[in-house]
Amino acid sequence: MSGTEELLVEPDRLAAELDSAAPPTLLDVRWRLTGPPGRDDYEAAHLPGAVFVDLDTALCGPPGAAGRHPLPDPAALEAALRVAGVRAGHPVVVYDGGDGMAAARAWWTLRWAGHRPVRLLHGGYPAWLAAGLPTTAEAPRPAPGDVTVRPGALPVLDAGEAARLAAAGDGVLLDVRAAPRYRGETEPIDPVAGHVPGAVNLPATEYVGDGRFPAAEALRERFAAAGVTEGAPVGAYCGSGVTAAQAVLALHLAGRPDAALYVGSWSNWVADPARPIATGTTPGH
């Protein structure tokens, strides 16, 4: 992985691409964990040409034992992407409200589905506004796309695989939630607090700030400090696989395109009361 230009695009460059003869397909995936819906923001104003795609209903499956944001049904995802105008082999740019989490999950989902040319607008909608670039409330009517979803292009972990990675000793499973949730001191969303035994805590705020990523070398150093070593397996999880998708993107930027996402994350782990739970500051096996 050579650099951020393959995964991230700055506002001025995106503006130039949108004015070109072959603009990328632009997806607005603004989203909030506790609402209100991102569509409200989209309808108020968005980037010219952007199509709204809902993270909860289009890019993820329905919540349940598999987690709060499980993998989508491939056929349903393909239909949603085609409605949004996603075309086979044609570049896609995704953006969110600025923290980069929903956009990263959209990036991950498209890549997992086999659509490789996809980038994030670095800094999201606020970065576009800060650059003085135009917005509109007019919704486009894209021609139907022809993308074909081919699941499995990025690695995923299920609960058993996550447990084995955390316990193996020759790799690392990163828990990217806030430290109090990892330690088991509080759990504002899921029914049980704590972490997967053996997982290492690396809160997202330690490698990304305000939706912007540091240089690749800084990312490599931070991940190395958390135990990510060259060639050893690495995976990530969070509460429901959204923030962890951002961690996987950061790992790609750091040169680890093999990083796996535990999609179900903690919301899937605690769905089975037989699964062990660790608390405290250390990984704990």
Query: Is 60 an annotated catalytic residue?
Result: no
Is residue 160 one of the residues assigned to a domain? yes
Number of residues that make up the chain: 285
**Would you say residue 3 has pLDDT above 60?**
no
Query: Residue 239 and residue 176: Cα distance in Å, rounded?
Result: 9
**Residue 169 structure tokens:** 């000793």
Are the beta carbons of 106 and 27 closer than 8 angstroms? yes
Is residue 28 one of the residues assigned to a domain? yes
- Same domain, yes or no: 247 and 163: yes
**Would you say residue 29 has pLDDT above 70?**
yes
- Same domain, yes or no: 167 and 95: no
- Same domain, yes or no: 113 and 164: no
**Would you say residue 284 has pLDDT above 90?**
no
- Same domain, yes or no: 126 and 163: no
Query: Residue 222 and residue 209: Cα distance in Å, rounded?
Result: 13
- Same domain, yes or no: 68 and 29: yes
Is residue 285 one of the residues assigned to a domain? no
Written as one letter, the residue type at 149 is V
Q: What is the pLDDT of residues 105-138, one digit of tens each?
A: 999 999 999 999 999 999 999 999 999 999 999 9
Q: What percent of the chain has pLDDT over 70?
A: 98
Query: Residue 282 and residue 284: Cα distance in Å, rounded?
Result: 6
Is residue 274 one of the residues assigned to a domain? no
SS3 28: strand
Q: CATH number of the domain at 101, please.
A: 3.40.250.10
Is residue 116 one of the residues assigned to a domain? yes
Query: Residue 57 and residue 80: Cα distance in Å, rounded?
Result: 9
**Residue 206 structure tokens:** 């330690």
Is residue 63 one of the residues assigned to a domain? yes
Is residue 141 one of the residues assigned to a domain? no
Q: Which of 238, 261, 270, 278 is catalytic?
A: 238
Q: What is the pLDDT of residues 190-207, one digit of tens each?
A: 999 999 999 999 999 999
- Same domain, yes or no: 240 and 177: yes
Q: What is the pLDDT of residues 139-176, one digit of tens each?
A: 999 999 999 999 999 999 999 999 999 998 889 999 99
The tally of domains found in the chain comes to: 2
Query: Residue 252 and residue 255: Cα distance in Å, rounded?
Result: 5
- Same domain, yes or no: 160 and 122: no
Residue-averaged pLDDT of the chain: 95
- Same domain, yes or no: 246 and 191: yes
User: 263 Cβ partners below 8 Å, 6+ apart?
Assistant: 66, 67, 69, 70, 71, 156, 157, 241
Q: Residue 75's domain spans which residues?
A: 4-130
What is the model's pLDDT at position 1? 37
Is residue 229 one of the residues assigned to a domain? yes
**What band does 285 get if pLDDT is binned at 50, 70 and 90?**
low
Are the beta carbons of 26 and 47 closer than 8 angstroms? yes
Query: Residue 252 and residue 239: Cα distance in Å, rounded?
Result: 21
**Would you say residue 277 has pLDDT above 50?**
yes
- Same domain, yes or no: 219 and 176: yes
- Same domain, yes or no: 123 and 192: no
Residue the block writes with tokens 């670039």: 133
Q: What percent of the chain has pLDDT over 90?
A: 92
